[in-house]
Chain A
Amino acid sequence: MRCCRLPVVLAFVIGGSGITSEAFAQQDMPRALLAVSPSADYRQADDLLAQHLGRALGVDLRRDGGFSNYRDLIERVTTDDSGYVARMTPYAFVAAQMLGARLEVLGTYESVVTRTTTYRSYLVLNAKRFEAFPPTVEGVYEYLKALKEPARFVYHDKFSTSSYLLPALWFRSHRIFATEQSVDSLVRIEAMRDAKSSRESVGKVAADQAQLAAVWDATKQEYEHDSSVVFIPLPYTVPNDLLVTPAALPETAKAAIRNAIERSPEIGVADFERWRSIDNAREALYALHELNRVARAAPAPVVVRVTIDEESKHSETATQLDQIVEEVRQAVRLAGTELVLEEKVHQAVDVIWTVRSIHSGAILLESDIQAPRNLRDRLKQEFHISFTPVDGDLTRRVVSLIHSRMHRIRYVWPYDERAPTVIRDVDFSVPTGEPVHVQRVTWVDPDRNAFVPSEWRDTKVVSVDQAKFVFDRKDFIRPDASALDYQDPLSDVAYRVILERPSNESRQSKILAATFVALFLLTGAGAGIDLRNRLRPKTQLVPRTLPEMCAALAARIHRPWSQRALTEADVLACNRPRVEEQIEDLKSQRLVPAAMGGITRFAYSIGAGIPFAKGVCADANRRVELVIDPTRVSNTLRLTALLRLLIGKQLLSPFVGVPLEWEGLNELARAILPDAGPGDILIRREDETVTEFASRHFNRVLDEGMKQLSLLPGSWLVSRRDGRCLAQQHIPLPAHLTIGGSRISSLRLEFNVADEVELPFDPASQTVNCWVLGKLVRATIDQETGSTLSLHLRTVALLLQPGTALNAVVLRLARDIDGSGKKEEGA
């Protein structure tokens, strides 16, 4: 069952899609034929064309007869890009394209008169008046020149290719102007729109009401046997009317229209024999191409003078300036723009370029448009150009500047009566509302850039698009006349506008500048940080807890050794193996700088040989050699380094012999109470809680003293016990401490003194003042008293009190002398 339904569904889908695509295709088809139909036979011919196209395309296509002239039609095709075909004269088509319309030519017609798809334009002259001159365009020129009064040229439509555009182009090329000025270099005519059709123009010439007109082949054929007029062909061939569509129309639609045009029947109305696809009308295509070229005349030349700055002529680089100027001039030639170099024939200069040498490889190019001073200053452009002596480098750079940076001078397009328009051929835009400068000039001799300038005026850009700039119409009314005069192509009056190219800073440059400012501020911040670091006193942690405070007090006691360089006299005893052992311990904790491990170097050796006699073999080795063995340096140096490391890195235990807990608690209390003086005792040592705290902490200190080296001062009583020399120090505690469950009221510190050590003790008191660097190894409570804690130290070194080395020497000497005296006495 399902299998039976499938073909049905598929057929429905396929059929449906076909209908849909056809519907879409028809939706894209044109619905109107736009045309200017000056007469009934033209209307009839357009209706026939519309009917044929409608039938062929399967749409209801009708003639839109709402256009009385080509200006309206051009307006429509430049603003609308869908749903129509349009019949246009070739020039209307070219003008529409210039104004921004995107059209595509699909067909043209074959003329009844010419039997081709092209036609020509003919100047019409009165036969009697012209009989003395040769029947050529040169003869016409001579004829017009010979007339005492300006010849009257009549036309019926400004967008008529044959009656207006082509003769206008020819007039301009021969310096024939509709002008009031009487100048030898110009030929004067009077131009007036004084006819409704080309036939009427011919009639006026025949009746000698006008001396000149222009018509096309069909009109000429009508008057071919009329001996009162002469037809002189102009040297241009143009295509017949064109059938165009918006370029945006889908290709399928355009192809369908082409097919329909190609299949169009004979019309035989007016001049329309039949319509043909443009693809099959090569002649018309070539003629259209030629018309495009002629009508889109290059912008009027702008004469440039290149000069050298006066100061630069006397500079060190003056010799190179001629070469530089030549390269700049070459740039003008190669740029391919409206800029032309000044020659002797030129009467006026539009722009002056001044080259100023900055240094070898850099110039300043000033571009100065010739205008009143106030305007000139505003329009002046300066370009710094860096270049290298490489051939053509400067030229390339100037060409690039011309194309990308310089202001441009453009002339108002004279065919648009509605608004002053400049056909856009520059890549930059001038924003709407932006003021621009405009000048009216009256040509004397365009070839020699000779003109009579008027004052520069300001106008505004009222609209901009890809094809044109449109300016404010009211600014083009002359102060001394109410009429507009920019829109007469036959006139010698022209309006030129300076299009100021905005020279905007690139985004990259803005970002870089902003980054620079940020870095500048950061420089200040960096300087601030550095200054603060410099001015800030060395940070000392404020002790906040009892351990911190005791550590700080211990560090204060150790401070005399922190920057001290030991001398041999300072060291009473040094157990070198223990020093090295300690350093090794610290190394294992990665607390020793590399330098304390000695000074090493990498040694390289390269060897070569013939192993097994099979080939050359090379080997390279790297090994570490110990240059300086630190264990072999003197005790003083080694001990100094160790001591500095221990103090600097706070590796000493906080045990300094005397319990610091009560003082620490007082310091903490004084820190919190602002009114307390430095010596005030705020904590009662006898208080049980205080005792408990102090005891607990002192126990921890003793633990640390067992693990780390301690450095403690003291006055030691030296005695001999069991044949060994023992130094002891008895320290009564100001309050008892609980250690190991016993109430301790005094400490006894002791250490053994090696026999070979000579202690500078006082013979009378048998005491020696010295510092002990060592580690607690034993803590016992005296069995007899039960209140004395004995702490035994394993010494690493014995150091004299700072500043007592000399006394020690004296004492030692005194003892030696005393000892020798006793020996002598004994002897």
Chain B
Amino acid sequence: MTGEVLTGLIPRSLRVRYESTRPASGYRAATTLANDKALPALLLLAAFAANLLETAFEAHRSAGITSRGLALASGMQWLEGGSAFENHDVSNLMAVYGFSAAYFVVFPLLVLVSGIVFARRPDPRAFRAFGFALAIEYACSLPFFLLFPVPERWTYPDANAILLSDLWNSRLIELFRPMSALDNCFPSFHTSMSVLIVLCCFVYRVEFRFLTIPVAAMVLLSTYSLGIHWVGDIVAGTALGVISMAAAHRLTAR
């Protein structure tokens, strides 16, 4: 309880000194740690593990795109005004390598580095918000993944798209597939995570926060350009990122 008071009243640097004058009980130390870092870390791990399990389950359940998936993809295309790619495989190398790198390399790095940066900060709120928000995001996305299986754009023939990263290396998608099922398109988790990270960086005034804006924008753009996500996925992902961050911020502020 004392810890709570201190958190509210004085900065952490002073609190540490204050706490050090009192012998902390094991229970209180554990509680503090759990509140600060362990719980969000646990949530992050849980979300990751759940995602792996869910993807494996979906792969086991159905090998390809279901007729319902195709109907949903048709709906997504309708929402976009029936737009389709034109000569998608004739994209320039900048687009192929750039967007593939943004999607398959930069995004995981962004998540990883952000997680580490948040975790290393003396102020635990950023990490807590990050952990909570990610868990909320995944919890919100999961029903859509299971019940609203929108397939990736390239799998829908009328979209006239290919998986652009195949022009660079087909291993990229193979490496990513255990974490992202073919019909887990809506909402875009890449988008929601990127938005979440940017918001988290700005709300908690993390260093290098300005860097995250264009990086996240590149990731967002890559989800569309690579022929993976629909515009609807990106819009929903953005909304989910904002909502999750708001909820997590509120939870953290208590």
A633/B90 contact (C-beta < 8 A), A520-B214, A644-B10, A644-B11 known: no
A182 an interface residue at 8 Å Cβ cutoff? Answer: no
Most A CB atoms within 10 A — which of B95, B154, B207?
B95
With CB as the reference atom, state the residue of chain A lying closest to B250: A602
The interface on chain A, measured as residues whose beta carbon lies within 8 A of the other chain's beta carbons, has a size of 56
B63 an interface residue at 8 Å Cβ cutoff? Answer: yes
Contacts of A533 in B (CB 8 A): 207, 210
Most A CB atoms within 10 A — which of B9, B10, B92, B207?
B9
Contacts of A183 in B (CB 8 A): none
**A396 to B85 alpha-carbon distance, docked (Å):** 16
A565/B90 contact (C-beta < 8 A), A526-B214, A599-B8 known: no
**A522 to B161 alpha-carbon distance, docked (Å):** 28
B139 an interface residue at 8 Å Cβ cutoff? Answer: no
A374 an interface residue at 8 Å Cβ cutoff? Answer: no
Quick check: B9 and A595 within 8 Å, CB to CB? yes
Binds B, one of A326-334, A510-518, A752-760, A805-813: A510-518
What distance in Å separates the Cβ of A785 from its nearest Cβ neighbour in chain B?
Answer: 45
A628 an interface residue at 8 Å Cβ cutoff? Answer: yes
Q: Which of A359, A384, A504, A516 contacts B173 (CB 8 A)?
A: A359
B163 an interface residue at 8 Å Cβ cutoff? Answer: yes
What distance in Å separates the Cβ of B204 from its nearest Cβ neighbour in chain A?
Answer: 14
Q: Is the interface of B mostly helix, strand, loop or mixed?
A: helix
Contacts of A563 in B (CB 8 A): 13
Quick check: B95 and A596 within 8 Å, CB to CB? no
Quick check: A527 and B211 within 8 Å, CB to CB? yes
B1 an interface residue at 8 Å Cβ cutoff? Answer: yes
With CB as the reference atom, state the residue of chain A lying closest to B155: A388
A505 an interface residue at 8 Å Cβ cutoff? Answer: yes
Chain B interface bracket (under 10, 10 to 19, 20 to 34, 35 or more):
35 or more
Contacts of B154 in A (CB 8 A): 386
Count of chain A to chain B residue pairs whose CB atoms are closer than 8 Å in the complex = 166
With CB as the reference atom, state the residue of chain B lying closest to A518: B214
A601 an interface residue at 8 Å Cβ cutoff? Answer: yes
Contacts of A783 in B (CB 8 A): none
**A519 to B194 alpha-carbon distance, docked (Å):** 15
Quick check: B9 and A596 within 8 Å, CB to CB? yes
A503 an interface residue at 8 Å Cβ cutoff? Answer: yes
**A505 to B167 alpha-carbon distance, docked (Å):** 15
Most B CB atoms within 10 A — which of A386, A387, A503?
A386
Quick check: A641 and B9 within 8 Å, CB to CB? yes
Q: Is the interface of A mostly helix, strand, loop or mixed?
A: helix
B52 an interface residue at 8 Å Cβ cutoff? Answer: no
**A396 to B7 alpha-carbon distance, docked (Å):** 63
Quick check: A515 and B209 within 8 Å, CB to CB? no
Q: Which B202-254 residues have a C-beta within 8 angstroms of A?
A: 207-215, 217-218, 221-222, 224-225, 227, 254
Q: Which B37-89 residues have a C-beta within 8 angstroms of A?
A: 63-65, 70, 85-89
Contacts of A387 in B (CB 8 A): 155, 157
Quick check: A513 and B14 within 8 Å, CB to CB? no
B197 an interface residue at 8 Å Cβ cutoff? Answer: no
A640 an interface residue at 8 Å Cβ cutoff? Answer: yes
**A405 to B88 alpha-carbon distance, docked (Å):** 11
Question: Given A509-B88, A516-B94, 18 other A-B contacts at CB below 8 A?
Answer: A359-B173, A362-B170, A386-B161, A386-B227, A387-B155, A388-B64, A400-B160, A505-B90, A506-B87, A508-B86, A526-B213, A526-B214, A595-B7, A596-B9, A628-B8, A637-B6, A638-B9, A644-B10
The 4 A-B residue pairs with the shortest CB-CB distance, nearest first, are: A595-B8, A522-B214, A389-B64, A526-B210
A-B contact pairs, 28 of them (CB 8 A): A384-B162, A386-B161, A386-B162, A388-B64, A388-B182, A397-B157, A405-B87, A509-B90, A512-B221, A513-B98, A516-B95, A516-B102, A516-B221, A520-B98, A523-B214, A526-B215, A530-B208, A530-B210, A533-B210, A563-B13, A565-B14, A596-B8, A596-B9, A599-B5, A601-B254, A628-B1, A638-B9, A640-B10
Q: Taking beta carbons and an 8 Å cutoff, which residues of A are in contact with B? A: 358-359, 361-362, 383-390, 393, 396-397, 400, 405, 503-506, 508-510, 512-513, 515-517, 519-520, 522-523, 525-527, 529-530, 533-534, 563, 565, 595-596, 598-599, 601, 627-628, 630, 633, 637-638, 640-641, 644
